Amino acid sequence: MARKPRTELEREIAVSDEAAAYIADALMQLALDFENNHFSQIRRHYEEIAPEPEHDPRQLELFPEREPWLATRRRG
């Protein structure tokens, strides 16, 4: 695949392959550290904006509160 020509701004901020790899590693570490420090806040935000699940009457209950076969099972 042919490379597209660089714009003037891209020429000004061009970095070597090694520098790009180091910068990417540093940014990833920064993002991971931030997420570790603020995980509960991030989770609360996503829970607040998440839509409520819709109840579909056709959906079977896959994990009922109590399995009927446990009530009739004899021990011993």
From CA 24, how far away is CA 37, in angstroms rounded?
A: 20
Q: What pLDDT, in 10s, does the model give residues 26-70?
A: 999 999 999 999 999 999 999 999 988 788 888 888 877 776 666
Alpha carbons within 13 angstroms on the beta-carbon side of residue 48 total: 6
pTM: 0.51
| Structure tokens given for 12 | 């000004």
Task: Check pLDDT > 80 for residue 6.
Answer: no
